[in-house]
Amino acid sequence: MNIFLDDATALVVVLPLLIAAIIAFIPSSRLAWFITIVTLVFHLSLSVELFQNFSSFGTIIYEFGNWPPPWGISFKLDGVNIGLQLLFSAFVLVTTIYSRKIFLSEIDPEDSGKAYSLWLLAIGSLNGIILTNDIFNLFVFLEISALSSISLISLGAGTNRKALLAAFNYLVIGAIGATFYVIGVGFAYAMTGTLNMNDLIIQLSQYSEGQLAIFAGMSFMLIGLMVKSAVFPLHLWLPPAYSYAPSAVSTLFAALATKAILIFFVRILYEVFSIYNGYLEIFLDYILLPLSLIAIFVGTIIAIYQNDIKKLLAYSSIAQIGYITLAFSINDNSGVLAGFVHIFNHALIKGGLFMAVGYLAISLNDRVTLESIEGYGQKYPITSYALLVCGLSLIGLPLTNGFISKLYIFQALYSNEMFLTIGLVALSSALAVIYFWKIVEKLFFSSKGYEATSEDPAIYIPIWIIALSIIYFGIFSSTIVEFSSIASESLILGGSN
Amino acid sequence: MTDFLYFWNHFAFVILMVSGLFIIITSQNYIKKIVGLAIFQTSVFVFFVSLAKIIDGTAPILNSVNNVYSNPLPHVLILTAIVVGVATSALGLAIVLQIYKNYGSVEENEIKKEELKENS
């Protein structure tokens, strides 16, 4: 392992991209799946190595081709992304194990081998988004991940042709968002002559009063990233894309894609932008905070009226992203900490929910609606109870990790004396009970007496790994909180390091 | 007025960008939307290349005659962005083709009508 250690930071991105190109030529879908699993096991072990390296030596900056930062592209592994890197590696492995049966039944079996090529492409590029330290390099990764995820979403057309419209919508809106981001990069480059994040911070400090061009550029960048991470008024691509994609794909993207971009979003906000405190405060207080609150309510209320369960979960994702951005909009350590806690927890919760619903979808061989799952709690008890655990965590019941998130969000709001916001957040949590209760009622309290059917262990084991980790992190919350506090501290205090 | 002439390429960038967005938003035809997207992306290329230009600057080749040259880095960035743009257009057109095969139309309002019929 040690010979790879020097380049582990690059390998976690390069390896999936490289294997993706090879898998495209493998005709057997079983072999393609197996190679993907092997790659991701290796990926996970590299991430663990990186973590050990990080805990003994601190921040790792990897320079490609040994070009020093202002000229070359560099990757940075610091407190902000180490936690997400570990979670990402572990989660994609579990999702890939789960994805085999889903891909076989939801997309054309002949394509399911090639789907793994796109799958690895998406994983590699998302990992690039997590690690990159170069603002233009981020654009490239954003586009690779967008193009591969659009192709994966359009594979859902095998079961429902609306997937094509969803994919097209995402393509157009996503490309507009990415282009906005590039315009912002252009402004930043024109003013500073650098693309490297650390160097950018140093160069920007010479304009300590701020210049219109910098603010314009930053606004373009932030809006572009907000489109990509589906922050409220720019979220319209997300619900159809998540609900018509093959379930394994929805799982991957709901859990990790928006989160990876949100991490970069807060980096721009708090690392690069922290020198313009006035502008930052205006953006956080008058734009991000109100938008997050609206997102929470709009997402929750639309979710209540949904009949299609994958769509319901997608709208609930909008609300949950609202909680994350709400926490990030509190400009102090406790708020950012709460945001990171919710990023980790929500990734597990939404991932678990989409996995469980995905299994119901393939056993129904149809859309999962509230009517069609009536009584399935008796028919598929193992999956249904996992869904129940994840859902209870989404609401924020004690002993689940969702409770920990809510606790930290409330704490951050309370310490900043935002009492009105506390009330609104509590109200929205109560509303979330309504839509989840509708699912529980249909699943478990139905007059239809089904016999318990045998379930596929290849699918319920990954689902229960997620469900058990939800309970584990709910009881022993210190791991996630520790990673989050490392992240928030290095974000708020670290600055250029 | 001299300012305008001096920065005319920046104005061209803004006009191209806005017309690209306008086409994406207003046109009902999916292929036209892709064309609008391409115009929108091209406007950014114009912007980046304008940034790099230095008056009297030549290509960045080291010789004894010219020592003023344009910044090559934005050109390289745009080379990447062009590739990304081509890939986006290609994927978009491929999806439009599939939409046409499945719905028999590439007009947004006709497809919406059909979806409504399907739902009712």
Residue B4 has pLDDT above 70, yes or no: no
Q: Nearest to residue A139, comparing CAs of A153, A150, A151, A128?
A: A128
**Out of B41, B91, B111, closest to residue A179 by CB:** B41
Record the tokens describing residue A451, joined without a space: 């016999």
In angstroms, what separates the C-alpha of A396 from chain B's closest C-alpha? Answer: 35
| B91–A140 CB contact, under 8 Å | no
> Which residues in chain B have Cβ-Cβ distances shorter than 8 Å to A176?
21, 24, 37, 40
| A165–B41 CB contact, under 8 Å | no
In angstroms, what separates the C-alpha of B3 from chain A's closest C-alpha? Answer: 17
Top mean pLDDT of A181-185, A228-232, A359-363, A423-427 is at: A181-185
Q: How far apart are CA B32 and CA B40, in angstroms?
A: 12
Q: Tell me, what's the pLDDT at B36?
A: 92
Q: Does residue A293 sit within a domain?
A: yes
User: Which segment of A65-69, A247-251, A293-297 scores lowest on mean pLDDT?
Assistant: A65-69
Q: What is the mean pLDDT of residues A239-265?
A: 88
**Out of B91, B102, B115, closest to residue A157 by CB:** B102
Q: How far apart are CA B74 and CA A237, in angstroms?
A: 31
Positive or negative torsion for Cα A446, A449, A452, A458 = negative
A497 band by pLDDT with thresholds 50, 70 and 90: very low
Q: What is the mean pLDDT of residues A354-383?
A: 81
B23 band by pLDDT with thresholds 50, 70 and 90: very high
Record the tokens describing residue B36, joined without a space: 């609008």
Q: Tell me, what's the pLDDT at A422?
A: 86
In angstroms, what separates the C-alpha of B47 from chain A's closest C-alpha? Answer: 8
Residue A454 has pLDDT above 70, yes or no: yes
Which residue on chain B is closest to A182 by alpha carbon?
B44
Quick one: what percent of chain A has pLDDT higher than 90? 11
Residue B1 has pLDDT above 60, yes or no: no
Residue A322 has pLDDT above 70, yes or no: yes
Domain with A484, as residue range(s), is: 288-497
- Are A249 and A153 in contact by the 8 Å Cβ rule? The answer is yes
> Which residues in chain A have Cβ-Cβ distances shorter than 8 Å to B40?
175-176, 179
User: Which segment of A35-44, A137-146, A325-334, A373-382 scores lowest on mean pLDDT?
Assistant: A373-382
Q: How far apart are CA A156 and CA A135, in angstroms?
A: 32
A317 against A331, higher pLDDT: A317
- Per-residue HEC secondary structure of chain A comes to CHHHHCCHHHHHHHHHHHHHHHHCCCCCHHHHHHHHHHHHHHHHHHHHHHHHHHHHHCCEEEEHHHCCCCCCCEEEECHHHHHHHHHHHHHHHHHHHHHHHHHHHHCCCCCHHHHHHHHHHHHHHHHHHHHECEHHHHHHHHHHHHHHHHHHHHHHHHCCCHHHHHHHHHHHHHHHHHHHHHHHHHHHHHHHCCCEHHHHHHHHHHHCCCCHHHHHHHHHHHHHHHHHCCCHHHCCCHHHHHHHCCHHHHHHHHHHHHHHHHHHHHHHHHHHHHHCHHHHHHHHHHHHHHHHHHHHHHHHHHHHCCCEHHHHHHHHHHHHHHHHHHHHCCCCHHHHHHHHHHHHHHHHHHHHHHHHHHHHHHHHCCCCECCCCCCHHHHCHHHHHHHHHHHHHHHCCCCCHHHHHHHHHHHHHHHCCCHHHHHHHHHHHHHHHHHHHHHHHHHHCCCCCCCCCCCCHHHHHHHHHHHHHHHHHHHCCHHHHHHHHHHHHHHHCCCCC
The pLDDT tens digits of the residues spanning A263-315 come to: 889 888 888 877 777 778 888 888 888 899 999 989 999 988 888 888 888 99
Q: Tell me, what's the pLDDT at B120?
A: 63
Q: What is the mean pLDDT of residues B26-37?
A: 91
Tokens 């991430």, residue? A47
- Are B36 and B20 in contact by the 8 Å Cβ rule? The answer is yes
What CATH number does the domain located at B2-119 have?
1.10.287.3510
Domain residue spans of chain B: 2-119
> Which residues in chain B have Cβ-Cβ distances shorter than 8 Å to A182?
44, 48, 81
Q: Which residues of B lie closer than 8 Å to A, measured between beta carbons?
A: 17, 21, 24, 30, 33, 37, 40-41, 44, 47-48, 51, 73-74, 77, 80-81, 84, 87-88, 91-92, 95-96, 98-99, 102-103, 111, 115
Residue A456 has pLDDT above 50, yes or no: yes
Record the tokens describing residue A128, joined without a space: 């690039």
| B91–A161 CB contact, under 8 Å | no
The pLDDT tens digits of the residues spanning A389-442 come to: 888 888 888 888 888 888 888 888 888 877 888 888 888 888 888 888 888 888
Q: What angle do CA A155, B38, A135 make, to 5 degrees?
A: 85
> Which residues in chain B have Cβ-Cβ distances shorter than 8 Å to A132?
none
Q: How far apart are CA A244 and CA A237, in angstroms?
A: 12
Q: Tell me, what's the pLDDT at A2?
A: 58
- Are B103 and B83 in contact by the 8 Å Cβ rule? The answer is no
Q: Domains in chain A: how many in total?
A: 1
Which residue on chain A is closest to B84 by alpha carbon?
A143
> Which residues in chain A have Cβ-Cβ distances shorter than 8 Å to B21?
176
| A176–B24 CB contact, under 8 Å | yes
Which residue on chain B is closest to A154 by alpha carbon?
B95
Q: Tell me, what's the pLDDT at A65?
A: 82
User: Which segment of A129-138, A161-170, A435-444, B111-120 scores lowest on mean pLDDT?
Assistant: B111-120
Q: How far apart are CA A446 and CA A377, in angstroms?
A: 9
| A154–B24 CB contact, under 8 Å | no
> What does pLDDT average to over chain A?
85
Q: Tell me, what's the pLDDT at B39?
A: 92
> Which residues in chain B have Cβ-Cβ distances shorter than 8 Å to A147?
87-88, 91
Q: Nearest to residue A252, comparing CAs of A62, A93, A141, A452?
A: A93
